[in-house]
Amino acid sequence: MTTQTPVLQLEGIVKTFPGVRALDGVSLAILPGEVHALMGENGAGKSTLMKVLGGIHQPDEGRIIVGKEPVAMSGPLDAKAKGIVFIHQELSLAEELSVAENIYLGELPEKRFGLVDWNELYARTNRILEKLKVGFDARTRVGDLSIANQQMVEIARALTVDAKAVIFDEPTASLTDAEKVVLFDVIADLQSHGVGIIYISHRMEEIFRITDRISVLRDGEYRGTLVTAETDEEEVTQLMIGRSLDLSRNAVHHELGEVALEVRNLSCHGLFEDVSFAVRSGEVLGFYGLVGAGRTEIAETLFGLREPSAGTIHLNGEKVRIHSPADAIARGISLVPEDRKAQGLVLGMNCRDNMTLPQVDDLKAGPFVAEGSEIAIFDQYRDKLDIRTPGWKQAVGNLSGGNQQKIVIGKWLAMRPSVLIVDEPTRGIDVGSKSEIHNLIRDLAAHGYAVIVISSEMPEVLHVSDRIVAMYSGRVMQTFTSEEVTEDSLIQAISGLTPGQAHQTDTTQLSEGKDIQ
Partner 1 sequence: MTPGKLSTYLKNGAIWGFILLELIFFTVAGQFLSLSENAFMDAGNMLLLFKQSAPIGIIAMGMTIVMVNGNIDLSVGATYALSAVVLLDAMTWPVFGGLGDWVIPVACLLAVLTGTVLGAINGLIVWKTGVDAFIVTLGAMLGYRGLVFMYNGEQPTSHLNWTLVDFAEAQFLGLHTATWVLLLVTAAIWFLMNKTVHGRNAHAIGDNREAAVNAGIRVGPHMMINFMIIGALAALSAVVFYAETGSVNPNDGELYELWVITAVVLGGTKLSGGAGSIISTFGGVLAIQLLRKGLAHIGADTSTVNLVIGLILIAVLLLDRQLNVKGKEALKI
Partner 2 sequence: MATLTKKDIGGFLARQGILLAFALFMIGFTLANGRFLDPDNVMGVIRSSAILGVMALGVTFVVISGNLDLSVGSMMSFSTIVVLDLHDKLGPALAIPAMFAMTLALGAFIGFLVGYLRLNSLIVTLGMLSAIHGLTLTWSGGKNMDIADKAGTWFDVFGRGEVLGIPVPILMFLLLAVTLGTALAKTPFGRKIYAVGGNGTAATFSGIPRARVVFSCYLVSAFCVATAGLLQASRSMGSQNTVGQGLELEVLAAVILGGASLMGGSGTIFKTVIGVLILGFIQNGLLLVGLPFYVQYVVTWVIIILAVWLDIAAKRGRLWSPIA
Name the site residues for partner 1 (rule: CB under 8 A): 75-77, 92-97, 101, 105-108, 110, 113-116, 143-144, 268-271, 300, 304-307, 309, 324
Could you give the CA distance from residue 46 to residue 52 in angstroms, rounded to a whole number? 10
Long-range CB contacts (within 8 A, 24+) of 379-384:
380/414, 381/355, 381/410, 381/413, 381/414, 382/351, 382/410, 384/410, 384/413
Distance CA 348, CA 3 (A): 55
Binding residue for partner 2, selected from 67, 109, 358, 496, defined by CB under 8 A: 358
Query: Binding string, 384-423, against partner 2, x = CB under 8 A?
Result: ---------------------------x------------
SS3 69: strand
Fill in the per-residue mask, 368 to 387: x = in contact with partner 2 (CB under 8 A), - = not in contact. xx------------------
d(CA 454, CA 299): 9
Least distance (Å) between residue 349 CB and partner 2: 6
Q: Per rule CB under 8 A, is residue 332 in the interface with partner 2?
A: no
Q: Which stretch binds partner 2 (CB under 8 A): 6-14, 183-191, 197-205, 345-353?
A: 345-353
Name the phi and psi angles at 319, rounded to 5: -70, 130
Does 27 bind partner 2 (CB under 8 A)? Our answer is no
**Distance (Å, rounded) from C-alpha 123 to C-alpha 365?**
71
Q: By CB under 8 A, how many residues form the interface with partner 2?
A: 28
| Eight-state DSSP code of residue 456 | S
Q: Provide, rounded to whole angstroms, the least separation between the CB of residue 299 and partner 2.
A: 11
Min dist. Cβ of residue 356 to partner 2 (A): 8
Q: How far is the CB of 366 from partner 1 (least distance, A)?
A: 32
φ/ψ of 135, rounded to 5, equals -95, 15
Nearest to 305 by CA among 287, 282, 289, 328: 328
- One of 44, 345, 440, 450 touching partner 2 (CB under 8 A): 345
Chosen from partner 1, partner 2, none, partner binding at 363 (C-beta under 5 to 8 Å by type): partner 2
Q: Residues 265 to 324: which contact partner 2 by CB under 8 A?
A: 303, 305, 324
Chosen residue from 113, 342, 390, 511 binding partner 2 by CB under 8 A = 342
Sketch the per residue contact string, 181 through 220, with partner 2: x for CB under 8 A, - otherwise: ----------------------------------------
Which helix or strand (DSSP H or E) is residue 406 part of? helix 401-413
Nearest CA to 292 out of 260, 319, 270, 314 is that of: 270
The answer to whether 349 touches 305, Cβ cutoff 8 Å, is: no
Largest CA distance in the chain: 80
Binding-site ranges for partner 2 (CB under 8 A): 303, 305, 324-326, 328-329, 335, 337, 342-349, 353, 357-358, 360-361, 363-364, 367-369, 411
